């Protein structure tokens, strides 16, 4: 029996991650020096994607519209890898996901379609192993994932 994932957070996070490849070509410049020179800073900036860069020019935060119209935000590590993501699921509920250095999911937190919260933790292979949540009736829920299959001799 496969463990049930409570959210579509990993799917949203994967879409944001995939979008980063195309979005990495776009650059959003910061108005820092312009403000110091007395240049008028716009009160409103409108765009489909914002990329926040550190002083070395490395992308560190991506805020974007996903292809299906949902919003997403990814926090990137110093190597430019997405490590944390926040966005809205296809069911309209928010979700937060964390990945390891290889991009595999390690933890996700969000609201299920019925509005109840759930926290899912994954093993090093990105397989859901533990889900902790609250049911619609307020009861505590704990789902322990299926252990990995035994190694087979060849």
DSSP 139: -
Between 56 and 90, where is the model more confident? 56
pLDDT of residue 149: 59
For residues 20 and 3, what is the distance between their CA atoms, to the nearest angstrom? 29
- The Cα-based distances of 81 to 2, 16, 20, 77, 98 in angstroms read 29, 11, 9, 5, 11
pLDDT (tens digit, 9 = 90+) per residue, 31-66?
445 555 677 878 888 888 999 999 999 999 999 988
Q: Which residue would you say has higher pLDDT here, 61 or 145?
A: 61
**In this predicted structure, what is the pLDDT of residue 20?**
42
Pure H helices in 24-142: 32-36
Taking the whole predicted model, whether its pTM rises above 0.75 is answered as no
Assign residue 38 a region (left: φ > 0; alpha: ψ between -120 and 50; beta: otherwise): left
Cα 58 → chain centroid? 19
pLDDT at residue number 6: 43
Helices (runs of H) and strands (runs of E) counted in the chain: 2, 9
Q: Are 125 and 135 in contact (CB under 8 A)?
A: no
Closest residue by Cα to residue 7 from 102, 127, 96? 96
Confidence label for 118 from pLDDT (cuts 50, 70 and 90) = very high
Name the least confident of 40-54, 69-83, 93-107, 124-138. 40-54
What residues pair up with 110 in beta bridges, in sequence order?
95, 118
Structure confidence at residue 30 (pLDDT): 40
Domains and CATH numbers, the chain: 9-29+48-144 (3.90.930.1)
């Amino acid at each position: 029996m496969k463990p049930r994932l409570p959210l579509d957070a990993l799917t949203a996070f994967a879409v944001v991650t995939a979008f980063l490849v195309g979005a990495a070509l776009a650059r959003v410049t910061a108005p820092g020096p312009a403000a110091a020179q007395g240049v008028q800073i716009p009160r409103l900036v409108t765009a489909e994607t914002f990329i926040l860069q550190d002083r070395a020019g490395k992308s560190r935060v991506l805020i974007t519209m996903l292809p299906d119209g949902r919003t997403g935000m990814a926090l990137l590590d110093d190597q430019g890898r997405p490590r944390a993501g926040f966005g809205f699921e296809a069911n309209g509920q928010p979700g937060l996901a964390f990945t390891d250095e290889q991009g595999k999911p390690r933890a996700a937190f969000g609201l299920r379609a019925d509005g109840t919260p759930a926290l899912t933790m994954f093993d090093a292979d990105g397989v859901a192993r533990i889900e902790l949540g609250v049911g619609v009736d307020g009861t505590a829920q704990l789902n322990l994932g299926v252990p990995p299959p035994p190694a087979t001799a060849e």
